């Protein structure tokens, strides 16, 4: 189990991040607080420390932490996969993420159980329509509904031609009749299965 990564703990990790590059940095459930998250994410960007970052289950990152994560997503040349699951992406977090995805080099994005139904999904889809780097988008367990959210996802697939995998399992999008536009818009892999 992680101990809480506060500002002081994160600063101590700089020696490691400066010296080594990692394929995967797992900060899942690290109890990142605002200043610690901001410092650590800034260091990960500065030293280009990883290609895969998991910051799932960290809901106390605060505005500074989200700002640092957005900056990392926008600026990193090495980061290709981000896992941001079990974190509510509403209000500022989804706006920061969406803005960062405009110029991101991420190829894989996991946003499972992130409360993306409705306005947050609309915000995300608005920028992903023009994103040409993302190849996989995982939206499992987001309580996506069969009408409005399906329309938004259909729009995403209509305009984004580089997305190859869209994972939608454990949502309420299973009615193929209502979601014909979603399926007709896309020639890649869509997973609508239930767990």
For the chain, what is the radius of gyration of the CA atoms?
A: 17
Looking at residues 122-134, what average pLDDT do you find?
97
In this predicted structure, what is the pLDDT of residue 176? Answer: 47
- The confidence band for 172, taking pLDDT boundaries of 50, 70 and 90, is confident
pTM of the predicted model, to two decimals?
0.90
In this predicted structure, what is the pLDDT of residue 10? Answer: 74
Cα–Cα distance between 195 and 191 in angstroms, integer?
Answer: 11
Domain 7-193 carries which CATH code? 3.80.10.10
Could you read off the pLDDT of 44-78 as tens digits, one per residue? 999 999 999 999 999 999 999 999 999 999 999 99
In this predicted structure, what is the pLDDT of residue 191? Answer: 60
Cα 128 off chain centre by: 12
Instruction: Scan for tokens 């996989």, then name that residue.
Output: 136
Domain residue limits, the chain: 7-193
In this predicted structure, what is the pLDDT of residue 85? Answer: 98
Which range among 2-16, 54-68, 156-170, 174-188 shows the weakest confidence by mean pLDDT?
174-188
Dihedral class, residue 180 (left if φ above 0, else alpha if ψ from -120 to 50, else beta): alpha
SS3 state at 23: strand
In this predicted structure, what is the pLDDT of residue 174? Answer: 58
Are 128 and 160 in contact, with CB atoms under 8 Å apart?
yes
- Angle at which helices 62-75 and 92-101 cross, to 10°: 10
Looking at residues 28-52, what average pLDDT do you find?
94
E-assigned strand segments in 2-103:
22-26, 50-54, 81-83
């Amino acid at each position: 189990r992680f101990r809480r990564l506060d500002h002081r703990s994160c600063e101590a990790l700089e020696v490691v991040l400066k010296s080594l590059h990692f394929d995967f940095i797992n900060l899942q459930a690290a109890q990142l607080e605002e200043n610690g998250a901001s410092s650590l994410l800034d260091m990960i960007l500065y030293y280009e420390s990883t290609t895969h970052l998991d910051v799932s289950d960290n809901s106390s990152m605060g505005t500074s932490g989200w700002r640092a994560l957005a900056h990392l997503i926008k600026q990193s040349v090495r980061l290709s996969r981000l896992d941001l699951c079990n974190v509510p992406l509403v209000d500022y977090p989804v706006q920061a993420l969406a803005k960062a995805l405009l110029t991101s080099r991420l190829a894989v994005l996991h946003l499972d159980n992130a409360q993306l139904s409705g306005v947050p999904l609309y915000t995300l889809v608005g920028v992903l329509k023009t994103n040409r780097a993302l190849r996989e988008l995982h939206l499992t367990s987001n309580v996506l509904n069969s009408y409005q959210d399906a329309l938004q996802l259909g729009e995403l697939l209509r305009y984004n031609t580089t997305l190859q995998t869209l994972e939608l399992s454990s949502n309420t999008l299973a009615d193929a009749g209502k979601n014909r536009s979603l399926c007709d818009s896309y020639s890649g892999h869509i997973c609508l299965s239930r767990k």
